[in-house]
Structure 1
């Protein structure tokens, strides 16, 4: 037990039915460690009164630090696509359904509403290329995995051609789980090295061609499709922005500091108006063994200890203790961009958006033509960011638009509430019947210059967390997905949870994070000043405080009767349908409310505002990721990540998605083990229409 405790520090500390394995492999046991953010930022209730004196102390004149705002004329238009695909921003259509009941976390099933069916689009190990072998669960090798769909899929996009018969699926792969991929028996040194090589080929991203006979039918992926591509921990990326060529990113293998091998910890993402895909490098720190003594290392959770993956045993770039690769961790933690229509293109890492644990990035075109990208730093007490491009979007000029994220201004959010003295950590709604207030986008980089005293531009972008600490940003409860609503321009922030909120020595509850020990998370709604997404001030309100109203009195659903909502906990990824409804996928509900994670629809307007309805429930131990809503076809898609994560190779905890019965012979390509998959949900009968 003591040895197991060393391997799984969260064992016995997770709540409900959350697996300590997930904590170990996904985020390097972040909750078992000291909080990375030890900054002495003013607590929320003190910030508003201190703002102007803080700016004076830093020498930041308000007018000089803020870029000019251009007012949008009405709500932003829907995204246009400049490639030959679009992401389904068609008008009309809806998903009509009766909400399902929550499913106990011990149940291994994928549940959808009456009248709907589900099927995998693609599963871990499915071959992408004509020459790639079929999946062999008992005979995996690195070369096979390099040509097969990766593990633990997260962000997902389905791009459709105008005729609806062809499409592209783009998905990223966050991390792997060795204990259910391979037998636990000790392997030889050569076998262990081969496993590690398999793992490096199982992460990254996948691009997969799709086809079907008619619009509205389920998709089939095309083995050997022309755009098919695997991006892994070995793929070459080009750095863009001020850090390209900087001494902070140079290594012995890349003395010019221009090209990086691989992408790691890819979590959520976004689809740009010009048709490329963004992905966030989130928990990259867990892949590196580092010195761990500097302020920069500590702020990013880098430590001098053996990693869970052990890649430092094979590849010196993952051992950052020596001078040769001391800067290697500085080359990860960015937003990456790929062109899914060009399998030969070199993907980019955009340093202008800052370096932190990016959940993802989502882009909207402002009224003045500049593009704005929102991104959350997914760690307890870290921050919410906004990037505004220097140059403007040009319709039908993809080459130009693919340079827009390389140069611009970077801001971090500071929130102020309007119910001083009423926030006690219980989640009780203030007297004005809402959790709301105003906020400021504090400048970090403006007009190519640092806005943070004592730090140059390169330092701000390489050590963005430290810069945001100095700027005075508001500590948040794990900002994950941040999505602008293209119908209204409002921005929605999923704060997943924060068990440390309000504990001794930690930031107290505030109006934007109003619950002590925030187990269930919440959703923030931001309205930019005058509807201008490039503005430097905003108003905000909380859409909901999540939880199960039957057992938690500290829930809030914008006034919608709590007794009528579906229980929801730990919001993660966000999406919208054509009607403007918000869709939420969850990560951590089993530990918080005892039900499997799921996909939920939430009304945002009128009497339906705050009405949460559950649409799907995941299999055992699985997280819901990457929701895509094509309600014009009555279809939805989710990435099912880490099903059966608490199991082992010989005692699997889930059989999703093949569900081969005991004693039965699996069909070709099937196994009696969990396989992370992208799932499509469609009306019954659609498959044969």
Structure 2
């Protein structure tokens, strides 16, 4: 990445601050070579590593990846919590993701933690050590095999051995997901450690199943659908109350002190498709499955209604007695993260994105304005407003489209179909409105026919007033496709740059599935390649929202591209979560998959810094890397920025528990800074033993605190 590209990424180019144009507010910036920033050595040459071409070839010709969290010299990482540790009335859940730091006093704080999903191999291997009890995994797997690999558990006799074992394992799995609040205390040495507090609690995937007072509340129009007596689909009998939360991926914090937790890949555990009135098909349509490689349909044994998952959940970590709320005005889709803009005198704006191939970028705009951004009553603003979805144009402009009944149907059609080599495919609500789910339109003629059948969203969905709007919000992804929202490249995090005011969005990869793909006119590699599987960072600026007038203009530009440096990338692959420090430096963690040479060349998932600087040809800084087959998630800081908290998720996900001397040799062809190619031989452990480091001991997800060994600011004056 050259100087101008990085300046754009960091919001340092001087451009107009008029509505819809990028801000020119700047931070103090320092002209320091990237080689002088705290960093570690990675798996490949980087332009900012300070080495000559000859030195790069010597350094990277043969390397070994290590099963540990690696940080720069002069830094340390301390494990704060791991899966199974006691937490309030429960325990630390599995596969920790998003982290939110809430100060209580100078040396006391709360850490809110998401627990996302079950990676079956790790969970089965480590459950006994984490929980101190065993589960009948082998017996369940055998009974399911005899039943054809899946089962509708509620349909089985109450005395069925399969039903008993399935309920037992599914309950344990769902209780290992959700949200946790942990107490922290800073010791005299300056390091944060877990300290139990009465404020600790767990909200898990079955909270409220047996104790109604623990159920979550729902707000907004979809709650009217939940209360509806006459419906096309399934009724769980709970009205607008909801059992539990799971698939909690990333999230965000509000200025008034609450935490927003995003339900992402809920479709693996409950039915995603809905009918025209917003109701769900019965849980039998998502039967229970369990093997040592895959767990699915966890909601089936308990009759969970699919339309009650896939929302944004708000909780107050400081008040364990206050019920969590699913705010349905923010839409139901595969939420990854959230960013909140609260300015006095303006509507509250909440940005979120749907992490799927062809997923969209959304914003919620409250009807009433914010008065005091720190007023806890601002939570009520999330209960009335509108949801909009982004339509991006290849020229860097775009607009917000309201997901409201009057919005015209106009399914997305790429402006550059020739890039695809075939007509644009887009999934829309099924044209037979007696059926749940969607159908894929594959031609201009099919799109035109669809428009003639259903001129507006009101013609696609059923219900009166609030119920109609609720049905649209429940089916937000397909409704957005139907009105022409731009399909994007698995949008992940959304964060507001506190200095420029722009919205930063990570897109983790350009790929496709049977229902669609990202717009190739926008999501392209450095030389126009499509698909480009390594991801991007986008900077977006939109006009101030109006609480009563829908829509609005926006401008966007790609400012960082993943990939190997010799192909025009920055050296990372698949950007995921972001955190922005007080100086405006961007901290970014990655989420690449394992098992292909195209992806494996990037080594371990890592934490990078994009420095806010104004001097020279700059590159990203590789600050830390995770254990083998893990992902680093949820970067966040304490208020003084002396500590960086990271969630280490799914160590050993591909191969499970590492056994001594269990290694794989990988070979790659790399290029040095002069363009000379050379071969690399790489030693890679199979599986992980993090955090114990003891061969044969199962890996466990956990939370780490990274700090300078001698204390003080994470980043010294640079």
Q: TM-score, normalised by structure 2?
A: 0.67
- Aligned-pair CA distance for 1:75: 7.4
Counterparts of 2:540 and 2:617 in 1: how far apart (Å)? 15
Partner of 1:477: 489
Matched position secondary structure for 1:337: strand
Give, in whole Å, the separation in 1 of the partners of 2:618 and 2:494. Answer: 18
Measured at CA, do residues 507 and 200 of structure 1 come closer, stay the same or move farther in structure 2, by a change above 3 Å? closer
Matched residue of 1:333: which SS? coil
Q: Distance in 1 between matches of 2:546 and 2:72?
A: 39
Q: Which residue of 2 aligns with 1:166?
A: 108
Distance of 1:100 and 1:117 partners within structure 2: 13
- Which residue number in structure 2 is paired with residue 616 of structure 1? 624
C-alpha distance after superposition, 1:23-51 (max 9, x if no partner) = xxxxxxxxxxxxxxxxxxxxxxxxxxxxx
* Cα shift at 1:228: 0.2
Take 1:128 and 1:397, find their aligned partners in 2: how far apart are those partners? Answer: 28
Task: Check the 8 A contact 1:571/1:586 in 2, yes or no.
Answer: yes
Please state if 1:656 is matched with 2:690: yes
Q: 1:186 aligns with which of 138, 142, 154?
A: 138
Partner of 1:125: 84
The one of 178, 187, 195 equivalent to 2:169 is: 195
Distance 2:253 2:339 in 1: 7
User: In structure 1, what is the equivalent of residue 360 of structure 2?
Assistant: 383
Go from structure 1 to structure 2 and tell me whether the alpha carbon gap of 1:161 and 1:386 turns closer, same or farther (over 3 Å shift): same
Q: Is the 8 A contact 1:249 1:330 kept in 2?
A: no
Aligned to 2:590: 586
Give distance in 2, aligned partners of 1:504 and 1:316.
Answer: 29
C-alpha displacement of 1:363: 0.5
Is 1:259 aligned to residue 208 of structure 2?
no
CA shift at 1:76, angstroms? Answer: 12
| CA distance in structure 2 between the partners assigned to 1:302 and 1:465 by the alignment | 23
| Paired residues of 2:269 and 2:299 also in contact (CA < 8 A) | no
Partner SS state of residue 73, structure 2: coil
Q: CA separation in 1, counterparts of 2:564 and 2:279?
A: 38
Q: 2:202 aligned to 230, 233, 240, which one?
A: 230
1:328-356 Cα distance to aligned partner (Å, 9 max, x none): 11111110000100111110000001110
Report what 1:272 is aligned to: 254
Of residues 184-193 and 597-606 in structure 1, the stretch that sits farther from structure 2 once superposed is 184-193
SS in 1 for 2:70: coil
CA distance in 1, matches of 2:113, 2:138: 33
3-state DSSP class of the match of 1:180? helix
Match of 1:527 in 2: 541
Residue by residue over 1:507-535, the C-alpha shift from the partner in whole angstroms, topping out at 9 and shown as x without a partner, is: 65213445412210111110223799997
Deviation at 1:303, TM superposition (A): 5.7
Q: Secondary structure at the match of 2:170?
A: helix
Match of 2:194 among 196, 212, 221: 221
Deviation at 1:197, TM superposition (A): 1.9
In structure 1, the partner of 2:295 is 309
* CA displacement at 1:613 relative to structure 2: 0.6
Residue pairs, 1:123-522, within 5 angstroms:
123-129=82-88, 147-163=90-106, 165-182=107-124, 186-187=138-139, 189=161, 190=164, 193-214=167-188, 217-223=190-196, 225-235=197-207, 236-247=215-226, 254-255=236-237, 257-288=239-270, 304=286, 306-307=288-289, 308-309=294-295, 315-318=301-304, 328-366=305-343, 368-395=345-372, 398-418=375-395, 437-445=396-404, 452-454=457-459, 455=461, 456-500=468-512, 509-513=520-524, 515-522=529-536
Count of residues in Structure 1 that have an aligned counterpart in Structure 2: 538
Q: Determine helix, strand or coil for the equivalent of 1:616.
A: strand
The reply to whether residue 99 of structure 1 matches residue 39 of structure 2 is yes
Give the alignment of 1:79-90 within 5 angstroms: none
TM superposition shift of 1:686: 3.4
Q: CA deviation at 1:100?
A: 1.3
| Counterpart-to-counterpart distance in 2, 1:371 and 1:467 | 23
Moved more, 440-449 or 611-620: 440-449
Whether 1:686 aligns to 2:714 is no
- For residues 178-205 of structure 1, give each alpha carbon's deviation from its aligned partner in whole angstroms, at most 9, with x where no partner exists: 3233359623645554332211110000
1:480-504 CA-partner distances (Å, limit 9, x unpaired): 1111112211001110002339x99
CA displacement 1:89-121 (0-9 Å, x = unmatched): xx99x9984221225795312100111000111
Rounded Cα–Cα distance in structure 2 between residues aligned with 1:599 and 1:574: 9
**Partner SS, residue 113 of structure 2:** strand
Aligned residue number for residue 548 of structure 1: 564
* Cα separation, 1, equivalents of 2:624 and 2:503: 24
Partner of 1:402, secondary structure, is: helix
Larger of the two Rg values belongs to structure: 2
| Alpha-carbon distance in structure 1 between the residues aligned to 2:227 and 2:475 | 10
Q: Any conservation in 2 of the 1:577–1:630 contact (CA below 8 Å)?
A: no
Give the distance between the partners of 1:73 and 1:528, measured in 2 at CA.
7
**Structure 1 length normalisation: TM-score?**
0.70
Report the 3-state secondary structure (helix = DSSP H, G, I; strand = E; otherwise coil) of the residue aligned with 2:334: coil
Work out whether residues 225 and 471 of structure 2, in 8 Å CA contact, stay in contact via their aligned partners in 1: no
Asked if structure 1 preserves the Cα contact closer than 8 Å seen for 2:589 and 2:635, the reply is yes
Partner SS for 2:472: helix
- Offset of 1:449 from its aligned partner? 13
Where does structure 1 lack aligned partners over 5 or more consecutive residues? 1-69, 79-90, 130-145, 319-327, 419-436, 556-564, 663-671
Q: Which moved more, 1:401-410 or 1:191-200?
A: 191-200
8 Å CA contact retained: 1:490, 1:527: yes
d(CA) in 2 for partners of 1:441, 1:290: 25
Match of 1:632 in 2: 640
Ranges in structure 2 where 5+ consecutive residues have no aligned partner: 1-17, 44-62, 126-135, 141-160, 208-214, 410-455, 462-467, 660-685, 713-718
Q: Deviations over 1:145-177 (max 9, x none)?
A: x611111011101122352x0011101100123
Q: Offset at 1:316?
A: 3.9
Q: 1:571 and 2:582 equivalent?
A: no
CA shift, 1:245, in A, is 2.9
What per-residue deviation string (whole Å, max 9, x for no partner) do you get for residues 311-342 of structure 1?
56973414xxxxxxxxx111111100001001
8 A contact 2:21–2:541 mirrored in 1: no
